[in-house]
Amino acid sequence: MMRNDIISELPESLITQILLWLPTKDSIKTSVLSTRWRNLWLNVPGLDLNSDDFRFPYRDIIKNFTERFLEFNSMSGLQKFKMKNDYGKYNVCSERLKEWIATAVDSGIQHLDFETKNPLLLKDLMPMNIYKSKTLVSLKLVCVELENPKFVVSLPCLKILHLEKIWYCYDGPLVVEKLISGCPVLEDLTMVRIHDADIQALPLLHVRSLTLKIFRLMFNLEMTTRPILVEIDAPKLKYLSFKARQSDKIMVKNLSSLFKIDLDTDFGGSSLEPHDLRKRRDIIRDVLTGISSVRHMIISQRTLEVIHGYSKLGPIPKFHHLTHLKAAFSSTSLQLLLAFLESCPNLKNLILDLSVSTEPERIDITNVPRCITTTLECIEINKLIRKGETGIKLVQYFLENSPILKKAKLSFTDSPMSMTNLPLDRVFKMYLTSRKRSRRCQVIISYHASDVSEGMNIVIEQRCRRLFL
């Protein structure tokens, strides 16, 4: 006796909510299951289309399908409208797209996600009603053009805003500021810019919000010569990711609630010369002071280098609340890391991403910051190589100077399968020649390698509970 189809016995409203999480092409496929499922996809309160899902002639198929779907759901209302279009490949006319988005917004959608490939083909694409939606909860726009509305923006329910590779008109700063100020419950903001075509339109970015909790900002403007000043004022901000290339500047205010930060910036200049650092001294000091209450930090090598250069001009603020730190550094810049650790007196967890430099290694790590001897409990060192002198001395340094260390994880980039001339026990002896200061410390050695024949990653973890070599 066959078991009953449990899913088909569910109420239609529940089935359509399940199908809402699928791309529309997969939702349509369910129509062949049975008579019950034949038209269920039409009642799904959302549209999720990708131009690559439609064969030639693409233009007529997607036009007829989308208009039929929107007409069918215009009265019942949509929850989600998601569309990704490759206009470089299909060159779909944009006038219908603008109308579709406007119709979806008017129907009361909660989630709008729209992405294009070439915004030059979609001038003035976004309809003005997106600035007045009373139902939008999340809005993601990628590679489209936004113009400044001539009215007050009002998005009373918008909590998530994602703007990526947006093209602005000449009053770009006003568009962004109006959007943010018109979102009284905004919690999650992401801004990504890869090109510099609109740099003149957006030289200054103000992010002021009383409700913002998450802010991600990535600028990668390799060709620009004009700096962008980003000012962040968000008293409830918990997470900040700031990744900006070249001459981007940052100012922060009221970040006492900040819990985690991912920092990759040179604070407005690429030079580490003393006279250039003096010009940025106030900005560096104010940013470090503004984020000094953070508990979890991820910091890039170039940011570490700038902070070290600044330390010669003024004291680095103390990060008394910082307990977790992940830092990238090269084999020739150990002193930069140790100098920064002097400002982290209560650090408990440290993750280090080591990059081996082609320059001669200058290894002198006699200085021992306070956190290593008093609070450090876990250390993880990644990207070690078998015969790396810096790595060997670095591992020995932490094992010899950390009396309360509980775990040390050493991750190697080369494969144990290729170690025919260097057995595992020899590797252990090279890296663990000194006696551990902490008797409770567990050493974990990991190798990350690729098995080319099977095309899959192999992770081999050797746990060493008693290594007093």
Q: What is the DSSP string of 453-468?
A: TTTEEEEEEEEES---
Distance CA 193, CA 201 (A): 13
Whose tokens are 């730190």? That residue is 325
Q: Considering only residues 63 and 160, tell me which one the structure prediction assigns the higher pLDDT.
A: 160
CA distances from 467 to 373, 377, 381, 412 (A): 20, 17, 17, 18
Distance CA 393, CA 398 (A): 9
Indicate the helix (H) or strand (E) that contains 443. Answer: strand 442-451
pLDDT, position 341: 93
Phi, psi of 97 (to 5 degrees): -60, -45
Q: For residue 249, what are its two tokens?
A: 């500047």
Q: What pLDDT, in 10s, does the model give residues 241-289?
A: 998 765 567 889 999 899 999 999 888 776 667 777 777 888 889 999 9
Highest mean pLDDT among 9-13, 239-243, 311-315: 239-243
Distance CA 354, CA 385 (A): 10
Contact 249, 223 (CB under 8 A): no
Distance CA 307, CA 304 (A): 5
Please list the residues that pair with 349 across neighbouring strands: 324, 378
Distance CA 268, CA 244 (A): 9
Q: What pLDDT, in 10s, does the model give residues 358-378?
A: 555 555 677 899 999 999 999
Contact 350, 378 (CB under 8 A): yes
- Tell me what percent of the residues of the chain surpass a pLDDT of 70: 72
Instruction: From 356, 352, 354, 459, select the one nearest 415 (Cα to Cα).
Output: 459
CA distances from 31 to 36, 181, 204 (A): 8, 44, 51
Contact 363, 393 (CB under 8 A): yes
Amino acid identity, residue 173?
P
Highest mean pLDDT among 126-140, 198-212, 329-343, 439-453: 126-140
**Cut 0.85: pTM above it:** no
Whether pLDDT at 122 is above 60: no
Distance CA 379, CA 399 (A): 9
Which of 11-20, 328-337, 413-422 has the weakest average pLDDT?
Answer: 413-422
Beta strand residue intervals within 360-441, DSSP E = 378-384, 407-412
b/e per residue, 404-415, with b = 16+ CB within 10 A?
ebeebbbbbebe
Q: Considering only residues 363 and 78, tell me which one the structure prediction assigns the higher pLDDT.
A: 78
